[in-house]
Amino acid sequence: MTDPGEVRASDAEREAVVEQLRVASVEGRLTLAELTDRTEAAYTATTHAELALLTQDLPGAGVAAPMQAPAPQGKKRRWFVGVMGDSKRRGTWRIDQELGAVAVMGDVLLDLREAEVRTDRVEILAVSVMGDVKIIVPDGVYVDLDGMAVMGDKKVNVQQAPPGMNVPVVRVQAYAVMGDVKVIGDSQAQPLQRGFAAWREHWRRLHGEDWREIGRQIRGQERELRRQIRDQHRHLGL
């Protein structure tokens, strides 16, 4: 008898799991990166067991709940503004409304990878005037970039999912005047440095030297000092 978990999955069952994942994301149970990864895995799953693994830590595992429309937000928008300075948002944060990014002779960075997206899509208005707006998303999301650039640039550098997948959507309306609006994926983003790695990089920037070489120099100076003390003691007959 065939193991129920080894039964081949149908297209309808894959779509049902994708819908359940979208509901979990709106409820704040999955980050945008987790939603993207699991959605891609659902579309490539071949058996019921593989699909079950994707929802086993979610309520109602194995049963897709109907998608609830997010509460209307009207014209409400959350703004991130950098005027001759920087504005950055990264790490774990909640997106439950439209976003706005304005950079005027400054920089704005929005990292969506660990964000909890409470809407069915992410809508961003990005304005750059002699500045830079950078938006980091998980590779595999669908990015819809529109708008205009005057003596500036707007571009997307994200690894797209194969056609036909109902993946998360990020829509960006960009206006760049002598500035840039860029949407990049994981593969193009600089890894975030934390703890000791961040301290080491900070030391290098301050001193222009490798911290390990500095450590070797200090240890060498200590050995030389101890040798000089021993020689002085022998000379004095101590």
User: What's the rounded Cα separation, in Å, for the pair 152 and 16?
Assistant: 42
pLDDT tens for 85-106 read: 999 999 889 998 999 999 999 9
Statement: residue 1 has pLDDT above 70 = no
Of the ranges 50-64, 77-91, 160-174, 222-236, which is most confident?
77-91
**Mean pLDDT, rounded, of the chain:** 82
Residue range 47-68: mean pLDDT, rounded? 72
**Phi and psi angles of residue 175, each rounded to the nearest 5 degrees, phi first:** -135, 115
Residue for token digits 């993946």? 167
pLDDT band at 26 (very low <50, low <70, confident <90, very high): confident
**Phi and psi angles of residue 3, each rounded to the nearest 5 degrees, phi first:** -65, 130
Of the ranges 96-100, 191-195, 199-203, 205-209, which is most confident?
96-100
- Long-range pairs of 92-98 with CB within 8 A, sequence gap ≥ 24: 92/31, 92/116, 94/28, 94/118, 95/32, 95/119, 95/122, 96/70, 97/73, 98/73, 98/123, 98/124, 98/125
CB atoms within 10 A of CB 111: 18
Predicted TM-score (pTM) above 0.75: no
> What percentage of the chain has pLDDT greater than the value 90?
40
pLDDT band at 61 (very low <50, low <70, confident <90, very high): low
Taking CA atoms, 24 is separated from 75, 99, 146, 175, 221, in Å, by: 25, 21, 28, 33, 59
Rounded to the nearest 10 degrees, the angle between the axes of helix 211-236 and helix 195-207 is 70
Q: Which two tokens stand for residue 176?
A: 């760049």
pLDDT tens for 215-234 read: 566 667 777 777 777 777 77
Please give the pLDDT value at position 136.
95
Rounded to the nearest 10 degrees, the angle between the axes of helix 11-26 and helix 48-55 is 0
